[in-house]
Structure 1
Amino acid sequence: MSIERSDQQAAAQDFHLPADRLPLRQAGPGFDLLAGVRVVDLTTSIAGPSGTMLLADMGAEVIKVERPDGGDDARSWGPPFLDGESLWFASVNRSKKSVALDFSNAVGLDLLYRLISKADIVFVNLPPRVAKKLKVDADSLRAVRPDLIYVSITGFGLSGSRADWTCYDLIAEGYSGIMDVTGAAGGEPQKIGAPAADMLAGQDAAFGAVTALYARKVSGKGRVIDVALVDSMTRLLSCRITSYLGSGDLPTRSGGKDSVIAIYQTFETADEPIALALGNDNLWQRFWTAVGDPAYAEAPAFRTNVDRRKERETIVARITALLRTKSRAHWLALLREARIPAGPINSVADVVADETLLARGMFYRLSDANGRAVPQVGTGIQIDGKPGTARSAPPGLGAHTDEVLDGLAGVDEEQRRKLFEQRIIRRRNP
């Protein structure tokens, strides 16, 4: 997909929100790699929904089961809201069907089990004790369908002394060690500026589900996939942890200026900062040739990365003084021509205006059932040269209750009316 828009055309339009500048897409068939796979999603917040959205983006039918009173916790997360709908919720719930069902009672649980009996995968993000109490633990649901792939996302996993502890992304980041190595030297520990533990756990859960689904084609067996936010976040630190274990050198906060690569950090220019990565000897030499000082690269004290790490302070001071003499645009153009990894430090506003990302389908608006244009961020996976297409916008609470209960659970209109009156279900248009 190519996005063509001149600056004059953009300026001529009346934009009220950043999203108004994005291309408006209609829902469509999308990728079909997981066509025929049915997922029941009992999760809330970010981790579970992000994982099931990945499956939906690849073609799976995802039935999102929510509480009739309020639904997914993330529906209330805001501001910001778009016409009363949470934008955090909208970020991880496209291409799903919403069924508002209270399964904390026998009638609702029976309905849930009917859906589970026709599902391939179920996602749950409840601590083991709570899942067992509600009878949605692995044993209970696999008794309904033995070859079910049961995916659990919790803070600490299904086993161990912490299994029933509650957890959020912030807590997982603290446990993982990432906050201790993030932030300025001598400053306070910092959380990553996105729900990284949630998003990583969601990816791990989706990956685990798909691999189990692949194995089931051969063995016929279901699996229990156990994903923990703390585990997923800890894996992000693999390079740091392995280096510490094998050397005893404890990594500390350095503001992103301490790497195994000698020159791998941000630098100020005459106006805006840039990031510069001189990851090997060839790049080191090309950099100094590009800036007009090839002899500096040949100094014996700087010959290898090990040498350059010892002299990092001296080298950084030299590069800093040099880059401050001209603008960011000058240096990025020069370094790009020399094929040296360098780039800007973009704000979120910069990112969503990036023409390359737009052309790759990363940002767009999606029309929902109420005529709203909901901003979306693409999956970031292209298949056969094309980005995916969402099959539908994030659903309203209970938007598909009637459709799913009628089609999959055999609940007729009169029965659904009674269930609605008993507040066991919520319907879009009761």
Structure 2
Amino acid sequence: MTPLDSLVRERITDGLKMLDGVRVLDLTSSIAGPYGTQLLADLGASVTKIEKVEGGDDTRGWGPPFLDGASLWYLSVNRNKESVTLDIQRPEGRAILDELIGSSDVFVVNLVQRAQQRLGIDAGQLRAKHPHLIHVSLTGFGLSGAHADLPCYDLIAEGYSGIMDLTGEAHGGPQKVGTPAADLLAGQDLALATLAALYERKSTGRGRSVDVSMVASAVRFMAPRIVPFMGSGQRVTRSGGRDSVLAVYQVFDTADEPITLGLGNDAIWRRFWSAVGRDGYGNSDAYASNEKRREAREQIVEVIAHMLRTQPRAHWLALFAEHRIPAGPINRIDQVIDDPCLQDRNMFYAVEGARGWVPQVGLGIRFDGKGGVHRRAPPTLGEDTERVLRQRLGMSEACVAGLKDAGIV
């Protein structure tokens, strides 16, 4: 018995159609690029995923855990796509790629500039042939600069951007975020930039060359920490489950399980003390502003910590919800999946794929009250090769068979 067995079974639907008619050719692998193109696919774009004939996307080998032989990492970022295997290093494969590019609106690649130029798929060469094309590159450090040729993974970007330096306990070492944050941030930027370029093309008829850097996306994520440093010169250090700006914004222990508590403004500060029956703290001039509370932070935190340890988590969360005080549990993954509020938003479901049921995390964005995006399960390797070659490029059955026998597709 696994969590998959209890998930809601989602059937094939039309999904969202806001990007219906937009064709995306996806030459990316791993997490960042595929996550970005999945977002476009969820919004209705037709995404064709080009994969290596042998092995396919790198994430197909990431495991365990596997589900019916498929990597669950791969399954997390590749729904609503079709998979075509193609050896683009060989002339016949490259010719097929050129045909697919010519009939696409967006071409996405996660190779460094030098590799793109060697293969003839950089923005300069492709947009000279196809002025309408939106060419999107997602790399570790961007297409130019001293580090442009360096490889990069999420771990590298999190360290380079300062995320790791500010993550973890004050007296511990730097920590990586518990999810591939830099990958997902860059993937979101990929989708955002593509949408902007598509919107502009409606009036100009011309595409764009988009350069997304994992490190730059991660650095922008750090703006609320970097800007205060640049303006003050005060170096920020790790603070664990506490915040260095707000006086009370951290993890507290209760009689059983910990909670998060954020007293982010003066009104919430007063409501908190009213809720716990100690209005004197809330109305005291000594604590009337966050600046004053920061000066007395150690004393305040000690009082709150002592009080919260007297009752279990459920008691405090119910009380704080009643008084609209920002607080919450620190959920494990299994508790997140079981959360009724998230289940009501259809955040977790299973879809039927070629090898059985596959777990998925929903888009989480609703349009006119609806949030269902499922059109098809993540594809098996090369699942759509023959259909795409025959239907989209008009190849004969004999021609496709010859390409398969030669190992080109």
* TM-score bracket for this pair, using the shorter chain length: over 0.9
- Give the aligned partner of residue 258 of structure 1: 243
Amino acid at match of 2:406: Q
1:119 equivalent to 2:104? Answer yes
- Work out whether residues 241 and 250 of structure 2, in 8 Å CA contact, stay in contact via their aligned partners in 1: yes
- Give the aligned partner of residue 315 of structure 1: 300
Tell me how far 1:102 sits from its aligned partner. Answer: 0.6
- Work out whether residues 363 and 373 of structure 2, in 8 Å CA contact, stay in contact via their aligned partners in 1: no
Tell me how far 1:144 sits from its aligned partner. Answer: 3.5
Please give the secondary structure, in 2, of the residue aligned with 1:188: coil
- Work out whether residues 116 and 144 of structure 1, in 8 Å CA contact, stay in contact via their aligned partners in 2: no
Please give the secondary structure, in 1, of the residue aligned with 2:251: strand
1:274 equivalent to 2:269? Answer no
What residue ranges of structure 1 are gaps of 5+ in the alignment? 1-15, 426-430
Deviations 1:83-128 (A, max 9, x none): 1000000000001000000111111111001001110001100011
- Give the aligned partner of residue 399 of structure 2: 415
| CA distance in 2 between partners of 1:200 and 1:405 (Å) | 33
| CA distance in 2 between partners of 1:27 and 1:128 (Å) | 38
1:424 equivalent to 2:384? Answer no
- Work out whether residues 114 and 408 of structure 1, in 8 Å CA contact, stay in contact via their aligned partners in 2: no
- Give the aligned partner of residue 144 of structure 2: 159
- Give the aligned partner of residue 390 of structure 1: 374
1:74 equivalent to 2:67? Answer no
Deviations 1:245-299 (A, max 9, x none): 0011111011131331111111000000000011110000000000010011222
| CA distance in 1 between partners of 2:198 and 2:243 (Å) | 41
- Work out whether residues 49 and 81 of structure 2, in 8 Å CA contact, stay in contact via their aligned partners in 1: yes
| CA distance in 2 between partners of 1:57 and 1:421 (Å) | 34
* 1:145-294 alignment runs, 5 A limit: 145-294=130-279
Question: Residue 317 of structure 2: which of 332, 340, 348 is its match?
Answer: 332
Which deviates the most, 163-172 or 247-256? 247-256
- Give the aligned partner of residue 331 of structure 2: 346
* 1:13-28 alignment runs, 5 A limit: 16-28=1-13
Amino acid at match of 1:80: P
- Give the aligned partner of residue 11 of structure 1: none
Deviations 1:16-50 (A, max 9, x none): 10121110111211000000000000000000000
| CA distance in 2 between partners of 1:279 and 1:102 (Å) | 55
| CA distance in 1 between partners of 2:194 and 2:29 (Å) | 18
1:366 equivalent to 2:370? Answer no
| CA distance in 2 between partners of 1:131 and 1:389 (Å) | 32
- Give the aligned partner of residue 405 of structure 1: 389
Tell me how far 1:301 sits from its aligned partner. Answer: 1.8
- Give the aligned partner of residue 85 of structure 1: 70
- Work out whether residues 27 and 109 of structure 2, in 8 Å CA contact, stay in contact via their aligned partners in 1: yes
- Give the aligned partner of residue 128 of structure 1: 113
| CA distance in 1 between partners of 2:306 and 2:88 (Å) | 65
* TM-score, normalising length: structure 1: 0.94
* TM-score, normalising length: structure 2: 0.99
1:34 equivalent to 2:15? Answer no
What residue ranges of structure 2 are gaps of 5+ in the alignment? none
Please give the secondary structure, in 2, of the residue aligned with 1:239: helix
Runs of at least 4 residues off by over 2 Å: none
Tell me how far 1:300 sits from its aligned partner. Answer: 2.2
| CA distance in 1 between partners of 2:223 and 2:133 (Å) | 32
| CA distance in 2 between partners of 1:202 and 1:215 (Å) | 20
Amino acid at match of 1:66: E
Deviations 1:343-373 (A, max 9, x none): 0000111001011101101100011123x11
Q: What is the identity percentage for the equivalent residue pairs of Structure 1 and Structure 2? A: 55
1:377 equivalent to 2:361? Answer yes
Tell me how far 1:389 sits from its aligned partner. Answer: 2.6
| CA distance in 1 between partners of 2:326 and 2:292 (Å) | 21
Q: Cα RMSD (Å) of the superposition?
A: 0.8
Tell me how far 1:141 sits from its aligned partner. Answer: 2.1
| CA distance in 2 between partners of 1:156 and 1:291 (Å) | 50
